[in-house]
Structure 1
Amino acid sequence: MARPDPLSSQESPTADHASKAVELCAFLGDYMDPSQVEAVREAYRFGAEAHEGQSRMSGEPYITHPLAVARILGEMRLDHQSIVAAILHDVIEDTPMVKDQLAERFGEEVAELVDGVSKLTQMDFKSKAEAQAENFRKMVLAMSRDIRVILIKLADRLHNMRTIWVMPAHKRRRIARETLEIYAPIAQRLGINSVRIELEDMGFAALYPMRYRVLKEKIRRQHGSRREIVSKVAEELQARLVEAGLEGEVIGREKHLWSIYQKMRSKQYNFADIFDVYGFRIIVDNVDTCYRVLGVMHNLYKPKPGRIKDYIAIPKVNGYQSLHTTLVGPRRIRIEVQIRTADMDRVAEAGIAAHWLYKEQANTATSNAHARAREWVKGLLDLQRNAGNSMEFIENVKVDLLPDEIYVFTPSGDILQLPRGATVVDFAYAVHSDIGDACIAAMVDHRLTPLRTGLETGQTVEIITAPGAKPNPAWLDFAVTAKARTAIRHSLKRLKGAEAADLGRRLVNQSLEALSQRLEDLPEQQVLDALEQLGADDLQALLEEVGLGRRMPWLVAQRLSGIALVPEQAPETERGRAQQLTVRGTEGTVVTFAGCCHPIPGDPIVGFATAGRGVVIHHEDCKNIREYRNQPEKWIDVQWEKDTHGEFPVVIAVDVVNKRGVLADVAATISGLESNIEAVTIEEREGMIATIRITMGVRDRVHLARVLRRLRVLNSVLRIVRRKG
């Protein structure tokens, strides 16, 4: 597939679309039956009539765009249903035609493909980003039914990028950014290298036109001298193959502009460092020859240690297979060599499209690429099911499209592929979601390792689990893979629901105590009647809403007990008899401690029911509780449980003499009393005085008092104040 220059590629607005249709049908006739070509011709007539009077922004008739998309897919040698769907891909979205009409005329398969590519135009979205995310979610669902949907969408995006220059600058940038973040990585994930490279270079030209021009001009100036070096090295490589009695084709290749730009940016290289690398591809007849050629190359030039990669034994996630090595050539130039078979080369260029492109030469490589693509789409479906909304889903997909991989082993010797930077937690969830949820530690190469540890290629990882273990919200800070992050969020939502229901039960029982009743003793029919009056699906859902602060426990207790009072009418004396809610500090996400006053065990506290957050605990002296004074129905009577465990954050302000070593003395004193410092800020004041604001963890007021007493005896400490709002 020829790649036009992004900055000069524009089609003539006066192009005759009828002649383009004739050219397309003649081209398709090389590999399709006459009846299939006739179906394509019929689709053209139908599409041209449906889009009659519609024009593209360039002024050309709209039907020229679907014809161009169909031609791109024709070059991939896709089947006639895909070509027909490509010609009709905008009919549902941009004309009065509906899916049923297409199904009746061209069959259910074509109608499903067209519907899968069509955007959701009938729905209202809060923002353009949300609309794009929801449309992408719809496309993924369609992909799961038929992988050809994404091939049509990639061809559609490819032609839109070729004609993007008629768009206003702000639209060009938005479309180019989306292309570089979503569609080019998808093409790479599916192994369609030729489409990926063109999308990247055109996206680069549209997003950063000045940088593109500067880089292109630098390459043009050096092209002549580079061509001589490439030619000379290629001759040496070919001669050494002949000398070793091996048959192979040597092809010199150049890095494309986006790849050069990305490497310059990510590794802080200058242009000379990047452009000093020369690439060659050696294509041979079988796998055995690949490894023999690798040995010949290492005898010709010295290999660079750590730069030999075997993607034949361990293929990339998109099915790509090849041997990679970096050599130090003549005049110390770096030579990157890729060695692969002809079948591997087809998959490297066409990826999943090779499943159709070389169907008549069906082989393991193309079948593997197709199977891996389906496995990836299945993974996207899992992400989609567990994602909270479309925006979260598309962010997860972006993470999942990171190209760099590592390969790690399970204890049984199986290989798992993970993105670079993946941690032990990512590995656990890659094995199984249940393993991830229950993991507490890991053995990496037989050494006990924390869950946040980053993994490297070749390591063996064994996950240690425990019954009843739960995922920790802190894992989201270092989990890398979309599967792990989505599974953690999903599990935390489930846990939050269970914790909320448990807290809701305690709050309702607390209110029922004032009415001399208990939830467990209420008649079943009375509870069912109350659920109907309150509009709740079941008792568990009702208690969960109470625990999350969306319903007031006193009102729910009234309904359950059969008393038809509203909160304002509830007798104060009866409220006073209600049992206090005891706080342990281990209730999870449905009982939170206010960050303004940082209450700790032993403090006088008050609780407030807050929608979505459950019960929020404040210090009784906190200034922020004033806003609740006129909302008595939200007050929750709370007290600390006698035996609380864990650390609670507290903030102190320490006025000190500003001299060398004072911060170290303060920190050492706090640490010596088994208190962890979480945050420190220093504010210099007048003269030689500074205020150190410290957030630290304590067990209770007694523990805090010990820390403060020890700090006060330091010579440099002038005053200590605990901040409570």
Structure 2
Amino acid sequence: MRLDLDTIVAGLLHGVLKDGITVEELEDHFGQDVSLLVKGATRITDVKFNSELAEHADNVRKMLLAISKDIRVLLLRLADRLQDMCELDRAEPKRQRKIAKETMDIYTPLASRLGIDWLKRELEDLSFKYLYPVEYNELNEKLESSLEERQRYVDEVINILRHKLAEFSIHPIRIFGRPKHLYSIHKKLIAQKIPLERVYDKVAFRIIVETVRECYETVGVIHSTWSPVKERIKDFIARPKANNYQSMHTTVLGPRGHFIEIQIRTEEMDLVAQEGIAAHWAYKEGQRVNQDDMHLFGGLKKLVQSLQKVEDPREFLLSVREELDQPEVYALTPNGEVKELPGKSSPLDFAYAIHSEIGDTCVGAKVNGRMVPLKYELQDGDIVEIVTSPNQTPRRGWLALVKTRKARERIRSWLRREEKKKALGLGREICERELKQNGTTLKKIVKTGHVRLLLKKLHCNSLDDMLVKVGNGTITVQQLEKVLLPPEAQREQEGLGRELELESGGVFKRSGKKKKEEQKDAITIDGADDLLIKISKCCSPVPGDEIIGFITMGRGVSIHRTDCINLRQTDPNRWLDVEWR
């Protein structure tokens, strides 16, 4: 990749920190630049984590932070990962799958972000080999068996192209055909649900010309020779990808009815396409970073900044994967502003890309002048007009439609606020009801300062925090009742907490109901029926003992012996006359 001397030295030293060498020693011997690069390229190994997921997330977070400060860290990590993947056949199958998945999820899209196409393809194919070994081997064998036939086809197409272009005085620097890499063919087989025999563009052709003008002229010659597939014509010269990639792409129905993909670009464009950011490296002494690279660095820094607040390891890694997906759809506003979005993005993603409030109030969209549903998948070149309504609000079902992190986070944020608002209202209602039963109100306990004791007992930061937790069930009504009871009642309730249900006849019904034969020891409570009764364990009354009932908060009546110490500490107004039947 023709990198600078400091990066090459850091690459040779990238594992020394794990062997006991310190950052200070590196700086003394090789300078600050090299020591920082080595540190940024070293995985965390000396910190203990609660889970493998948390460790993985923290290593990715550390790498992204280092990248945002110096892009060379990423190039070192990519080179290191390629070496690891080439030696992965020595590892256990479980580790092979783990490393391959991490490579596919994180490192491959990062290579794509930098526009290093050859590295992206190698990492994808190596990951494919370990993630789907059966499919990899089958596909590889089939393609190897047809290698000679495909080479004859490549030669035929190249000869036709040279002849046709010469007729229009276009003399390409070179034309070549290369087999598409295995993983790209595998993705096509899965996406289109077709057998390998029906994948006609197994070979991609590339034409390198001298000028941008010749790029467009060459496309014209190709389309006059073979019928183009309209939706597969892409102009990345006028509208480069986010990683600065430029080229003309077209797919045509070539010789013998086979679809072929052709890319046309200049020599400089081809260098950038293959080497990406390394094609015009800016760290050599005396060079300056060009505007395209500044845009790319800025994008990576924004990625890091946007992920700083995501604390949950699983959500963090999901956000990284989605953010690293290469933008594949370029849709336009009616004013001609281009929005880059991930493939299969919906009008909701487009709406949130314009402004959060437009996304929140989106009720529909016009694409190329006609109304489409919100589940519509945007295509390259679509002109999108968002229809809004002040009465519209985000819905939970939208989460299944959106592809961008911005849209998803905004929707979730709005839903969380609404759920909190509902929980706050319900919690207030429940607390007012329970406090009323205890002869007070929320307003009174706030005024007297008793609310501070309440919050302390319930481990809440504020009154609203407590109300929300009551409303969403984090604090149960039973917990609330317990802290609201006076001390003597709390002692009685603690006694109740140690009660046992009787194995038989332990739960009784009041008079007025027919009792089963086995409920011969039932208790009668005068003037009421069908009330839940429990025998208190603190004094364990048995038939023949003098007993009395105590009305509990939400747990029916507990039965105590009349000489029970716990009973004597409770409120006599809540006693009931009971007797053994």
| TM interval, short-chain normalised | 0.7 to 0.9
Query: Who is 1:296 aligned against?
Result: 221
Q: Give the alignment of 1:278-297 within 5 angstroms.
A: 278-297=203-222
- Determine if contact 1:442/1:462 at 8 Å carries over to the other structure: yes
The Cα shift of 1:123 comes to: 4.0
Query: Who is 2:92 aligned against?
Result: 168
Counterpart CA distance in 2 for 1:232 and 1:357 is: 41
- Secondary structure of the residue aligned to 1:398 is helix
Q: Does structure 1 residue 251 correspond to structure 2 residue 176?
A: yes
- Secondary structure of the residue aligned to 1:157 is helix
Q: Alignment partner for residue 419 of structure 2, among 470, 493, 496? A: 496
The Cα shift of 1:481 comes to: 2.4
Q: Does structure 1 residue 148 correspond to structure 2 residue 72?
A: yes
Query: Who is 1:507 aligned against?
Result: 430
Question: Larger deviation: 440-449 or 501-510?
Answer: 440-449
Q: Alignment partner for residue 229 of structure 1, among 133, 148, 153? A: 153
- Determine if contact 2:27/2:34 at 8 Å carries over to the other structure: yes
Query: Who is 2:81 aligned against?
Result: 157
Query: Who is 1:17 aligned against?
Result: none
Query: Who is 2:295 aligned against?
Result: 371
- Determine if contact 1:253/1:280 at 8 Å carries over to the other structure: yes
Question: Larger deviation: 521-530 or 168-177?
Answer: 521-530
Question: Larger deviation: 445-454 or 472-481?
Answer: 445-454
Query: Who is 1:95 aligned against?
Result: 19
- Determine if contact 1:279/1:335 at 8 Å carries over to the other structure: yes
Counterpart CA distance in 1 for 2:203 and 2:79 is: 30
Q: Aligned Cα RMSD in Å?
A: 3.6
Tell me the TM-score normalized by structure 1: 0.61
- Secondary structure of the residue aligned to 1:504 is helix
- Determine if contact 1:352/1:373 at 8 Å carries over to the other structure: no
Query: Who is 1:183 aligned against?
Result: 107
Letter of the 1:121 counterpart = T
Q: Does structure 1 residue 193 correspond to structure 2 residue 131?
A: no
Q: Does structure 1 residue 454 correspond to structure 2 residue 377?
A: yes
Counterpart CA distance in 1 for 2:21 and 2:460 is: 42
Counterpart CA distance in 2 for 1:405 and 1:291 is: 22
- Determine if contact 1:511/1:557 at 8 Å carries over to the other structure: yes
Change (3 A) 1:467 1:333: closer
Deviations, residues 379-409 of structure 1 (Å, cap 9, x unaligned): 3542452x45111222233344445722222
Query: Who is 1:406 aligned against?
Result: 329
- Secondary structure of the residue aligned to 1:306 is helix
Letter of the 1:497 counterpart = K
- Unaligned segments of structure 2, at least 5 residues: 494-551, 556-581
Change (3 A) 1:136 1:188: same
Counterpart CA distance in 1 for 2:285 and 2:164 is: 34
- Determine if contact 2:234/2:250 at 8 Å carries over to the other structure: yes
Counterpart CA distance in 2 for 1:217 and 1:363 is: 47
Deviations, residues 415-464 of structure 1 (Å, cap 9, x unaligned): 11222321122222222334333434444445454433333333332334
Query: Who is 1:550 aligned against?
Result: 474
Q: Alignment partner for residue 312 of structure 2, among 385, 389, 394? A: 389
Letter of the 1:325 counterpart = T
The Cα shift of 1:371 comes to: 1.8
Change (3 A) 1:123 1:277: closer
Q: Does structure 1 residue 336 correspond to structure 2 residue 261?
A: yes
Query: Who is 1:349 aligned against?
Result: 274
Letter of the 2:113 counterpart = R
Change (3 A) 1:115 1:633: farther
| Structure of higher CA gyration radius | 2
Query: Who is 2:52 aligned against?
Result: 128
- Unaligned segments of structure 1, at least 5 residues: 1-75, 571-631, 636-725
Number of aligned residue pairs: give it: 496
The Cα shift of 1:466 comes to: 4.8
Counterpart CA distance in 2 for 1:565 and 1:356 is: 78
Counterpart CA distance in 1 for 2:375 and 2:156 is: 49
- Determine if contact 2:200/2:259 at 8 Å carries over to the other structure: no
Change (3 A) 1:347 1:225: same
The Cα shift of 1:160 comes to: 0.4
The Cα shift of 1:414 comes to: 0.7
The Cα shift of 1:196 comes to: 0.8
Change (3 A) 1:509 1:529: same
Counterpart CA distance in 1 for 2:227 and 2:161 is: 13
Query: Who is 2:127 aligned against?
Result: 203
Letter of the 1:200 counterpart = E
Q: Does structure 1 residue 421 correspond to structure 2 residue 344?
A: yes
Counterpart CA distance in 2 for 1:333 and 1:106 is: 56
- Determine if contact 2:327/2:340 at 8 Å carries over to the other structure: no
Change (3 A) 1:567 1:435: farther
Letter of the 1:82 counterpart = T
Q: Does structure 1 residue 315 correspond to structure 2 residue 240?
A: yes
Letter of the 2:92 counterpart = P
Change (3 A) 1:264 1:477: closer
Query: Who is 1:478 aligned against?
Result: 401
- Determine if contact 2:165/2:171 at 8 Å carries over to the other structure: yes
Deviations, residues 265-314 of structure 1 (Å, cap 9, x unaligned): 33233333336644221122332221122112222333233321212222
Q: Give the alignment of 1:593-632 within 5 angstroms.
A: none
- Secondary structure of the residue aligned to 1:523 is helix
Counterpart CA distance in 2 for 1:503 and 1:476 is: 26
Deviations, residues 692-711 of structure 1 (Å, cap 9, x unaligned): xxxxxxxxxxxxxxxxxxxx
Q: Give the alignment of 1:67-78 within 5 angstroms.
A: 76-78=1-3
Counterpart CA distance in 2 for 1:99 and 1:160 is: 23
Counterpart CA distance in 2 for 1:512 and 1:500 is: 18
Q: Alignment partner for residue 540 of structure 1, among 452, 460, 464? A: 464
- Secondary structure of the residue aligned to 1:316 is coil
Tell me the TM-score normalized by structure 2: 0.74
- Determine if contact 2:242/2:327 at 8 Å carries over to the other structure: no
Change (3 A) 1:558 1:323: same
The Cα shift of 1:349 comes to: 0.9
Query: Who is 2:561 aligned against?
Result: none
- Secondary structure of the residue aligned to 1:372 is helix
- Determine if contact 1:552/1:633 at 8 Å carries over to the other structure: no
Query: Who is 1:52 aligned against?
Result: none
Letter of the 1:471 counterpart = P
Query: Who is 1:83 aligned against?
Result: 8
